[in-house]
Amino acid sequence: MPKLSVVVPCYNEEAALPLFYREITRVADEMAEVDFEFVFIDDGSKDGTLAELRRLAAADKRVRYVSFSRNFGKEAGMLAGLEAATGDFVALMDADLQHPPALLPALYRAVTEEGYDCAATRRVTREGEPPVRSFFARLFYKLINRISDTDIVDGACDYRLMRRAVVDAILSMHEYNRFSKGIFGWVGFRTKWVPFVNVERVAGETKWSFWKLFCYSLEGIVAFSTVPLALASVLGVIVCLAAFVFVMVVLIKTLIFGDPVDGWPSMMCGILFLGGVQLLCIGILGQYLAKTYLETKHRPVYLVRETEDGVK
């Protein structure tokens, strides 16, 4: 029988987990032709998530779990899950039932029968989201798709099902700063996009604040585009041209009208503007340097404290 691993990163999901488990086992029973494995990642939860996972693993031998030594973030959780998964097919989904397990049979069919390598979901509406957040999300996708060669699909969710080959391709990317939406796009393969309507999470709270999302989007840009690095050169050329025109104007004005001592405001404008542009460009350089610095350290993306086989 083909084996399907379901990878679920969990951070403080003690309330959602029992509901999720009930729903996913119901779907698993429906898909009798598939062998299931559930890989839960406890991302350093501070509530009873780990206890809940121990309980589930003791009761159901399809349940496996990996518990981190601290919170490493969802990206680390997904990586750990993909590394731990042993299935011929691997599905990634959230624990809060925002990614409906009921879609799983359709995703599985797309990969096994319709000739796709992976089936991914995308939200069709941003309903129920604050308008400011939607606005910036749209802006981000427009920007990153313009400045990056990698196709990053607007509204794409991390809820997806992949063939082993795709999983291995993703695992072959050893970067420390992981931006999954970009990684999924970068590896390519034939992807079927399955639209679905966004639902509210069943229990608990979202872990993403606006600020966290903003930082995450910057991470995505730095990870999948080097266009901002060219900004300094482009601005440099523009400013040089402007300076040349300005020098001409000053020269001609002086020759024709003499040289009255004024021009303090225009001088201040020039100094402030150029100061700002220079700081901006140094800042962008700094961003890339910081990421490069972290990559060169080769730190592990996550540390495991406990698995279903016991404490390490």
State the distance between the two ends of the chain, measured CA to CA, in whole angstroms. Answer: 31
Q: Does 82 bind ligand UDP (CB under 6 A)?
A: no
Q: Which amino acid is at 135?
A: F
Q: Which stretch binds ligand UDP (CB under 6 A): 72-80, 259-267, 283-291, 294-302?
A: 72-80
Structure tokens at 44: 């350093």
Min dist. Cβ of residue 16 to Mg ion (A): 9
| Cβ nearer to ligand UDP, comparing 206 with 266 | 206
Q: Does 74 bind ligand UDP (CB under 6 A)?
A: yes
Angle subtended at Cα 292 by Cα 290 and Cα 294, rounded to the nearest 5 degrees: 70
| Residue indicated by tokens 């509210």 | 200
Q: Does 201 bind ligand UDP (CB under 6 A)?
A: yes
Residues 6+ apart with CB under 8 A from 48: 14
Phi-psi region of 115 (alpha: psi -120 to 50; beta: other; left: phi over 0): left
Min dist. Cβ of residue 75 to ligand UDP (A): 8
Choose, by CB under 6 A, the member of 73, 101, 220, 228 that binds ligand UDP.
73
Beta strands 156-163 and 118-123, pairing class = antiparallel
9, 6, 7: which is closest to 207 by C-alpha?
9
Choose from ligand UDP, Mg ion, none: what does 57 bind? Cβ within 5-8 Å by kind. none
Q: Does 201 bind Mg ion (CB under 5 A)?
A: yes
| CB distance 48 to 82 below 8 Å | no
Choose, by CB under 5 A, the member of 14, 37, 43, 96 that binds Mg ion.
96
| Residue indicated by tokens 């359709």 | 106
Choose, by CB under 6 A, the member of 4, 6, 7, 11 that binds ligand UDP.
11
Choose, by CB under 6 A, the member of 125, 206, 233, 292 that binds ligand UDP.
206
What is the distance between the alpha carbons of residues 225 and 212, in angstroms, rounded to a whole number? 20
Choose, by CB under 6 A, the member of 10, 50, 66, 97 that binds ligand UDP.
10
Q: State the residues that interact with Mg ion by CB under 5 A.
A: 94, 96, 98, 201
Q: State the residues that interact with ligand UDP by CB under 6 A.
A: 9-11, 13, 43, 71, 73-74, 77, 94-96, 98, 201, 206-208
